[in-house]
Amino acid sequence: MKIRILLTLALVLFITLDVDAQCAMCRAVLETEEGQSAAEGINDGIMYLMIFPYLLMAGVAYFIWRSRKKSRAQE
């Protein structure tokens, strides 16, 4: 079981893909711009907004882990 978790973690950490975080409409509008600075700003903003759901889920997972650890220690 632990080897499966380690392999999955290794795949997630070491395999990276170059992706663009834009919808098709945003991409079509922003590709017509000369400097591409607005497109980079839109990409950065989308990536920034994607962080918060992951942080919330990590917080929930931490509190569940902590409560299970306390209940096992009391037994």
Q: How confident is the model over 21-67, as pLDDT tens digits?
A: 567 777 777 777 776 777 778 778 888 888 899 999 999 999 999 99
Q: In this predicted structure, what is the pLDDT of residue 17? A: 64
Q: In this predicted structure, what is the pLDDT of residue 42? A: 78
The rounded distance, in Å, linking the Cα atoms of 26 and 20 is 11
Tokens of 19: 């992706």
- Among residues 44, 54, 41, the alpha carbon closest in space to that of 12 is found at 54
Q: In this predicted structure, what is the pLDDT of residue 10? A: 82
Tokens of 9: 């973690």
Q: pTM of the prediction?
A: 0.49
Tokens of 38: 């607005």
